[in-house]
Amino acid sequence: MKQRIYLDHGATSFPKAPGCVRAMADFMEHSAGNPGRGGHHWTIAASRLIEAAREDIAELLGADPERTLLGPGATFWLNTLLHSSLHSGSRVLLSSLEHNAVMRPLRALQERRNIEVEILDGDPETGVPSVSEVLDVLGRREADLLILSHASNVSGAVLPVEEIAEAVAPIPVIVDGAQAAGAIPFDFSSAPIAAYVCSGHKGLLGPPGTGVLLLGPGFSPEPIIRGGTGSRSESEEMPEFLPDRLEAGTPNGAGIAGLGASCRWMAERGVETLAEHERRLALILASGLQAIPGVRLPGFDPASRRTGVLSFVVQGQDTGELAGWLDRERGIALRAGLHCAPAAHRRLGTFPGGTLRAGIGPFNTTDEIERLVESIETAVERGIE
């Protein structure tokens, strides 16, 4: 078998950014005190590394370091935001492209707090909502909160979250940027968004078990996890100030150090350059696949803003079996199925079979994309065993 090809960046990035693994090892070997707890050499070293990483992460995303919160993943921060913002009778609008990290907490809150949830139809082909659709829906009935993905984890389509947030102000908009952070250029400081959630291990090229919450001015969610922070230890209440208010418990220092190093590398390369590379490869892949009889690209719009994630289906082929064959016979790693976004597949007409999803990252090459296209051609012409 030729060299293996990793095309599953929508699930998690691999390999990580140069410098990430070294920074994690350095933290573990030299600085692994408990940050903010006590005053000895190792606790100070850990605090310094974590605060330096926080600044690098905030810098890349255009955020205020004090309002850049570090935690275990996008799922954790989305749960925190939804549980702390929605109360009995609250009404929330969302797109049909949302991930289960949004759908499942909302379902639980519908049952437990009787919140009201309305899913926007979006464009019939892509599911992407427009400003006018959102304003129409709000014109019929107000809402307390909007939650929107910045980019679909199924089709790679980018949603106009900044335009929508501007149009619906002062209703707060929470953005799930798990698929967008690091994958498309973004400056939080100029976005009228209440809260922006990033996954550390996807487009930001950091380690698993890391995620970032950016808070806009004036948006202060309640913590859902309470515990030690190393500060105000005499009080049984969580401190009022950030980041401590939302960061109880010993942080993932190695993960944060790794994520900081990844963000530094991304800042050097430039998110714009990396994003353009991924988009260019996605368009090469799309046109190669579209030329194969029986291959469809649900939700694909060549003219729209997009990430390097692209879904396709091959007529008459089970997505799981085809992904297994690609891995076994061709050494190509893709993800098949529903990608934790069943509502998106319902909207795109690919439920319950799902799609094959290619997730292109900064280290993929044109050659690798051509190998995928050639493999799908072979699968269509000769079948798979």
Ligand X SMILES: Cc1ncc(COP(=O)(O)O)c(C=O)c1O
Name the residues that contact ligand X, by CB under 6 A.
73-75, 99, 101, 149, 153, 176, 178-179, 199, 211, 340
Nearest CB to ligand X, comparing residues 13 and 229: 13
Q: Which is nearer to ligand X, 101 or 379 (CB)?
A: 101
Q: How far is the CB of 338 from ligand X (least distance, A)?
A: 12
In the bound state with ligand X, the residue whose beta carbon lies nearer, of 74 and 376, is 74
Identity of the residue, 31 or 126, whose beta carbon is nearer to ligand X in the bound complex: 126
Question: Contact, 70 vs 54, CB < 8 A?
Answer: yes
Closest approach, Cβ 77 to ligand X, in A, equals 8
Least distance in Å: CB of 75 to ligand X? 3
Least separation, in Å, of the C-beta of 367 and ligand X?
A: 27
Closest contact distance (angstroms) between CB of 360 and ligand X is 15
Least spacing, CB of residue 309 vs ligand X, in Å: 9
> What whole-number distance in Å separates Cα of residue 184 and Cα of residue 328?
32
In the complex, minimum distance from the CB of residue 83 to ligand X, in angstroms, rounded to a whole number: 15
The tokens for 211 are 């995620």
Helix axes of 366-382 and 271-290: crossing angle, nearest 10 degrees? 20
Decide whether 43 or 75 has the Cβ nearer to ligand X: 75
**Nearer residue to ligand X within complex by CB, 35 or 255:** 255
Nearer to ligand X, 156 or 239 (CB): 156
| Residue closer to ligand X (CB basis): 224 or 292 | 224
For residue 117, the minimal CB distance to ligand X (Å) is 17
Q: Could you write out the three-class secondary structure of the chain?
A: CCCCEECECCCCCCCCCCCHHHHHHHHHHHCCCCCCCCCCHHHHHHHHHHHHHHHHHHHHHCCCHHHEEEECCHHHHHHHHHHHHCCCCCEEEECCCCCHHHHHHHHHHHHHHCCEEEECCCCCCCCCCCHHHHHHHHHHCCCCEEEEECECCCCCEECCHHHHHHHHCCCCEEEECCCCECCECCCHHHCCCCEEEEECCCCCCCCCCCEEEEECCCCCCCCCCCCCCCCCCCCCCCCCCCCHHHCCCCCCHHHHHHHHHHHHHHHHHCHHHHHHHHHHHHHHHHHHHHCCCCEECCCCCCCCCECCEEEEEECCCCHHHHHHHHHHHHCEECEEECCCCHHHHHHHCCCCCCEEEEECCCCCCHHHHHHHHHHHHHHHHHCCC
CB of 339 to ligand X, least distance (A): 7
Sign, Cα dihedral of 88, 89, 94, 98: positive
CB of 199 or CB of 319, closer to ligand X: 199
Structure tokens at 271: 């998110």
- Least separation in angstroms between CB 157 and ligand X: 12
Token pair, residue 199, equals 């996954």
User: Letter for the amino acid at 61?
Assistant: L
Closer by beta carbon to ligand X, 63 or else 151: 151
